[in-house]
Structure 1
Amino acid sequence: MAVDNDRVEGSAKNIGGKIKEAAGKVTGDSKLQADGKSDQAEGKVQNAVGGIKDAIKGK
């Protein structure tokens, strides 16, 4: 069974957000840091939606 695209994209967005947040901390850029946290939250939600879709498909 293939993994739902939302899970893949959500995971990628979450990782990208972590990188942005870390870069914001290093450079002292609070906007970049906040954007990174926002991306992480979006990624987690998107990943959860994909997980639900996968669970539905598996039944």
Structure 2
Amino acid sequence: MGTDDKIRNAAQGVEGDIKAAAGRATGDERLEAEGKKDQIVSDLKQAGEKVKDAFRRD
């Protein structure tokens, strides 16, 4: 884990941003919701990585 996971999590967040924007632009509520879900999952994973990092430093 570590840097690779952080990069994958950030990429998932960006992908979610793109999906949500595309869904809004096309009126596709399902795609917009999927993008928002991806953003939330990415945020949760990043928060978990930060917690792991905090415990590793001590």
Unaligned runs of 5+ in 2: none
State the superposition RMSD in angstroms: 1.6
- Other-structure match for 2:30: 31
TM-score, scaled relative to structure 2: 0.84
Runs of 4+ in 1 over 4 A off after TM superposition: none
Of 47-56 and 32-41, the range deviating more from structure 2: 47-56
Alignment match, 1:10: 9
- Is the 1:24–1:32 Cα contact (8 Å) retained in structure 2? yes
Identity of aligned residues (%): 37
Higher relative contact order (CA 8 A, sep 6+): 1
Number of equivalenced pairs: 57
- TM-score in terms of structure 1 length: 0.83
